[in-house]
Amino acid sequence: MGIFSEEFNSLEDVFRHELKDLYDAEHRIIEALPQMADKASNSKLKEAFEDHLRQTEKHVERLESIFEHLGIDAERVKCDAMVGLIKEGSAVLSAEGDADAIDAGLIASAQKVEHYEIASYGTVRSFARRLHNQYVAELCEQTLEEEKSTDELLTEIAESSVNPAAA
């Protein structure tokens, strides 16, 4: 918490804060994914990162639609969790060694990010439902399903090729 702490007096306040936090997180992911794709050796993993970058850009557009729908500015509130996850993942980006082992590390880092996003989008979707905002709930549900699919794809790549090769 900084000098300018927020005040939460309602679920709506928390909801808006969480949306702004997600907006920041998605922007940070957009900055990190090209580096991850460049570092990946496995072609399926590289492609998954590149595809997820395009998907994440759509997630940002969805969040901007949500902000517009709510009549609030699309602002970023620093997502300390994403800062930490990306910082942790940067160790893999700077690592040297076996390409398959590095790919396994990239997947581990990416799945931590996906799990954070799954939790966050599930939360804002639930908040939107409670606040009787079906439009926002549906947009969050779309993104949530895409994040789950990405997580499943990363697991499939890890289990079918990267982890056996790294072992």
* CA pair distance 128, 51, nearest whole angstrom: 28
The per-residue pLDDT for range 21-50, each reduced to its tens digit, is 999 999 999 999 999 999 999 999 999 999
The structure tokens 């990946």 sit at 40
> How many domains are there within the chain?
1
pLDDT band at 1 (very low <50, low <70, confident <90, very high): very low
Structural domain range at position 89: 11-166
Residue 1 resides in a domain: no
Q: Which two tokens stand for residue 139?
A: 């947009």
* DSSP, residue by residue, 110-167: HHHHHHHHHHHHHHHHHHHHHTT-HHHHHHHHHHHHHHHHHHHHHHHHIIIIIHHHH-
- Mean pLDDT for all residues in the chain: 95
How far is 126 from 141, CA to CA, in rounded Å?
Answer: 9
Question: Would residue 138 count as lying in a domain?
Answer: yes
CATH code for the domain of 15: 1.20.1260.10
Confidence band for 85, pLDDT divided at 50, 70 and 90? very high
Estimate to the nearest angstrom the gap between the alpha carbon of 109 and the chain centroid: 11
pLDDT-based confidence at residue 4 (cuts at 50, 70, 90): low
* C-alpha–C-alpha distance, residues 70 and 163, integer Å: 44
- Residue 3, in any domain of the structure: no
In a domain, 5, yes or no: no
Could you read off the pLDDT of 102-156 as tens digits, one per residue? 999 999 999 999 999 999 999 999 999 999 999 999 999 999 999 999 999 999 9
Share of the chain above pLDDT 70, in %: 97
Residue 6 placed within a domain = no
Whether residue 31 lies inside any domain: the answer is yes
Please check whether residue 82 lies inside any domain of the structure.
yes
Domain-embedded: residue 27: yes
Is a pLDDT exceeding 60 seen at residue 14? yes
Q: What is the spatial distance between Cα 45 and Cα 156, in angstroms, rounded to a whole number?
A: 10
- Write down the H helix ranges in 40-98: 43-70, 80-93
